[in-house]
Amino acid sequence: MCTQTKAAARMVNIPQADIDPSGVFKYILIRVHSREQGDDTEVDIVRGYGWAEYHVDIYEKVSMELENDGLLDCECVGGGRIRHDAQAKKIHVYGYSVGFGRANHAVTTEKLKARYPDYEVTWDNEGY
């Protein structure tokens, strides 16, 4: 029987994507790793919020919340922007983060499609 580590069990409950309900805002792609020895579990999550002046503002808040019990470790693997039009059910991912570089928008788009299955979710590498 395979036993799941505490960190892996915790990762299962982390929402894959959490973004503001509408607007244009910065987002980051975070890779969450287990800190437990012998556990190489990891998951990528998307976080995007209009309150963030800089991409690092999102990273600092989210990583602090996730790392607070010592089970998980976070790494920002890039950022960009999201245009979320809830009325039209469209999300567009684009751009980059000056501090973290460009996120893999294809990964971000798949996470957002899973979270918003009835939306049209697109991406490109244009713009800032």
- Cβ count near 37 (within 10 Å): 6
Residue 37's pLDDT is what?
87
What homologous superfamily is domain 6-123 in, according to CATH? Answer: Janus/Ocnus (3.50.20.20)
- 82 with 48: CB under 8 angstroms? yes
Residue 3's pLDDT is what?
60
Residue 14 — φ and ψ, nearest 5°? -80, 125
Residue 74's pLDDT is what?
97
Residue 127's pLDDT is what?
79
- Where b means 16+ CB within 10 Å and e means fewer, 108-125 reads bbbbbeebbeebebebee
Residues lower than pLDDT 70 in the chain: 1-3
Beta bridge partners of 72: 34
Distance between CA 79 and CA 28 in Å, rounded? 4
Catalytic residues: 55
Residue 2's pLDDT is what?
52
CA angle 26, 28, 34 (to 5 degrees): 155
- 91 with 116: CB under 8 angstroms? yes
**pTM above the 0.85 mark?**
yes
